[in-house]
């Protein structure tokens, strides 16, 4: 708890008594008695993800000995992480404070907010609080990891209140690209904090349930200490279009498709988009087939919980599409971001076992490429077009709208909530900085804005928002069933193998005489084609023979010296001859 700065007179801090507050005493003047001045309450917030990055959202709120976690997401690896399946937050800080964690609250069911939950629960077992659809999606993940029976899941609704230690949290309904998304009003002795979660202001939402601006405004009248607001679209001027505009575009494009088979690629979690596709397909008397495991799971959960209205007999199994004419089919698929293993990519490259691309297809990519995915999406579009397929992907067709607020909505929310301090969250540095500029335009000074980074732990009181320290944070890589066993050394090896390949030197040595009994053989993988580079391989064998004969000592058997010299000398030879540096792997055996 921060101490007040005193000048002039001496001060002393009173002792903490059970159930009592800190007091700071000072002399008002020489003749006056000592008067108690109550020290300001403060709340601390640690960012374990979602800052200076897109995805992997995770935040910890702390008041004295009580903590709760908001969201626990994943990020998907880029080209710089070869072989990695998922990226999750570093849970070190959570494990260290496990006895103080009162629960985990989830704002909505997107992967960048729920994907890391199974991995967290394997470290600490804590109750999870979320809305109905979000709980349904979380259950599927926990069942896959064998954690469903051991996890406490608490279903909550907008305007419900949760008490977690010193925190009382109210959920507030917001619009996003998935139903049941919420923001939070967090009350504690230090004041009221608002976290918007991912949101936009949609006055004509598909589900008819507009964002609860009234409740945000009521908190604004009470006085909000700090606002944590979604920064994803902070660079985009104006307002985000309503999801209903996409439904109108689908209607026009589906009719334009004529007698062709329609294939729509969208985000697997966008249940509103799926509903609109089904609605238009029903009106045009087309059957709908769903392709992609995550999309199939969403449709199943959405239908079971009543978030998807699926007319009877409209959904068909993907195995049965061969029984229907192209003009009677709509296929909804994953792969809107050009992911290599997605259904749309496999269809485009002729690798899908059940859907074969044909010139009579009409493909709609109902998504905007996430920054960094543009090339992958372009590759899929180009491959589809090679089949003579018409592909609709340009923005002018309005086949996608964002689930995040643009600049005018962000300013409107700031104006409604009127926080004392403003902290932009959920975005890369450019998004956070642009969002901070919007706050400045709204009249906030630099001292009332905090642009944080992953790992920052900040303290907010009535007087200030300030950096306290840094907590363990960063990236943990999931590769297959391994979690955290792939680090920088392994990734560097993978990158080197992908760039320059591998040379293996294999030899068998007599343990008594030290003579080479077999080899050395030189094996190349991903470096050069051996049959066309026999002279180079011969030079490598001769050099390896000389090194082993000169270095190996049958009495001391210093294998490390032999292997080290083999790596250095063979690497030098390969670079001189090819200007490339393959990985050198010596394999020496004794008989």
CA distance 69 to 541: 59
DSSP line for 134-196:
HHHHHHHHHHHTT-TTT--EEE--TT-EEEETTEEEEEEE-B-SSSS-EEEEEEETTEEEEE-
Q: Report the distance separating Cα 134 and Cα 139, nearest Å.
A: 9
Residue 328: CB atoms within 10 A of its CB come to 16
| Torsions phi, psi for 481 (to 5 deg) | -100, 0
Catalytic residue among 108, 173, 404, 435: 404
Considering the candidates 112, 212, 230, 456, report the single residue annotated as catalytic. 230
Is 209 exposed, middle or buried, given 0-12, 13-18 or 19+ CB atoms closer than 10 A?
middle
Contact 548, 509 (CB under 8 A): yes
- For residue 308, how many other CB atoms are within 10 A of its CB? 20
Angle formed at CA 431 by CA 429 and CA 437, multiple of 5 degrees: 105
DSSP codes joined into one string, 447-501: GGB----TTEEEEEESS-EEEEEE-S-SEEEEETTEES---HHHHHHHHHHHHH-
DSSP letter at 404 equals S
What's the first-to-final CA gap in the chain, in angstroms? 69
Q: Which 8-state DSSP code applies to residue 397?
A: G
Active site residue 112: no
Angle formed by the axes of helices 132-144 and 293-304, nearest 10°: 130
Question: 521, exposed or middle or buried, with CB in 10 Å at 0-12, 13-18, 19+?
Answer: middle
3-state helix, strand, coil in the chain (%, to 5): 30, 25, 40
- Provide DSSP, 539-560: HHHHHHHHHHHHH--TTT--HH
Q: Do residues 424 and 431 touch, judged by C-beta distance below 8 A?
A: yes
400 is catalytic: no
Query: In this structure, which long-range contacts are made by residues 279-282, counting pairs with CB atoms below 8 Å and at least 24 apart in sequence?
Result: 279/247, 280/247, 280/250, 280/251, 280/254, 281/254, 281/314, 281/330, 282/311, 282/314
Residue 252 gets the label, from left (phi > 0), alpha (psi -120 to 50) or beta, of alpha
Catalytic residue numbers?
A: 230, 404
């Amino acid at each position: 708890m921060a101490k007040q700065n005193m000048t002039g007179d001496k001060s002393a801090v009173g002792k903490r008594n059970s159930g009592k507050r800190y007091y700071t005493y000072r002399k008002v003047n020489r003749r006056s008695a000592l008067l108690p001045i109550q020290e300001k309450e403060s709340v601390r917030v640690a960012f374990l993800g979602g800052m200076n990055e897109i995805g992997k959202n995770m935040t910890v709120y702390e008041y004295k000995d009580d903590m709760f976690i908001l969201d626990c997401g994943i990020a998907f690896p880029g080209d710089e992480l070869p072989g990695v399946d998922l990226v999750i937050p570093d849970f070190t800080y959570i494990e260290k404070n496990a006895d103080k964690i009162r629960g985990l609250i989830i704002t909505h069911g997107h992967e960048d907010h729920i994907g890391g939950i199974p991995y967290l629960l394997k470290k600490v077992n804590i109750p999870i609080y979320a809305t109905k659809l979000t709980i349904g999606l979380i259950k599927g993940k926990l069942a896959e990891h064998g954690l469903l029976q051991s996890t406490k899941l608490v279903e909550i609704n907008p305007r419900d209140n949760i008490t977690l230690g010193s925190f009382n949290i109210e959920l507030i309904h917001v619009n996003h690209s998935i139903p049941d998304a919420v923001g939070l009003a967090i009350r504690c002795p230090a004041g009221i904090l608002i976290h918007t979660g991912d949101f936009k202001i949609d006055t004509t939402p598909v589900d008819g349930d507009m964002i609860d601006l009234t409740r945000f405004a009521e908190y604004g009248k009470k006085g909000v200490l700090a606002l944590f607001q979604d920064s994803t679209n902070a660079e985009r001027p104006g307002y985000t279009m309503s999801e209903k505009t996409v439904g109108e575009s689908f209607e026009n494009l589906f009719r334009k498709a004529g007698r062709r088979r329609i294939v729509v690629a969208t985000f697997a979690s966008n249940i509103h988009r799926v509903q609109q596709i089904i609605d238009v397909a029903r009106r045009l008397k087309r059957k709908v087939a769903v392709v992609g495991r995550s999309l199939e799971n969403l449709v199943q959960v959405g239908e079971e919980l009543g978030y998807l209205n699926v007319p009877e007999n409209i959904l068909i199994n993907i195995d049965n599409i061969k029984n229907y004419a192209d003009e009677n089919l709509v296929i909804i698929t994953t792969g809107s971001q050009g992911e290599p293993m997605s259904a749309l990519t496999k269809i485009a490259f002729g690798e899908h076992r059940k859907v074969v691309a044909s010139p009579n297809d009409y493909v709609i990519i109902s998504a905007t490429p996430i920054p960094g995915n543009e090339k992958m999406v372009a590759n899929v579009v180009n491959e589809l077009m090679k089949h003579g397929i018409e592909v609709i992907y340009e923005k002018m067709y309005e086949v996608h709208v964002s689930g995040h607020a643009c600049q005018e909505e962000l300013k409107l929310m700031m104006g409604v909530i009127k926080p004392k301090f403003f902290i932009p969250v959920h975005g890369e540095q450019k998004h956070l900085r642009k969002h901070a500029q919007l706050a400045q335009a709204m009249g906030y000074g630099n001292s009332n804005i905090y642009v944080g980074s992953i790992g920052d732990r900040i303290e907010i009181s009535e007087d200030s928002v300030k950096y306290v320290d840094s907590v363990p944070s960063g990236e943990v890589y999931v590769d297959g069933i391994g979690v955290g066993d792939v680090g920088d050394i392994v990734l560097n090896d993978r990158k080197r193998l992908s760039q320059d390949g591998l040379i293996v030197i294999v030899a068998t040595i007599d343990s008594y005489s030290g003579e080479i009994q077999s080899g050395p053989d030189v094996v190349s993988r991903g470096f050069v084609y051996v049959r066309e580079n026999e002279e180079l391989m011969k030079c490598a064998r001769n050099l390896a023979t000389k090194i082993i004969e000169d270095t190996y000592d049958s009495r001391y058997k210093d294998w490390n010296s032999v292997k080290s010299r083999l790596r250095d000398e063979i690497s030098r030879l390969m670079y001189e001859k090819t200007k490339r540096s393959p990985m050198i792997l010596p394999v020496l055996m004794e008989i």
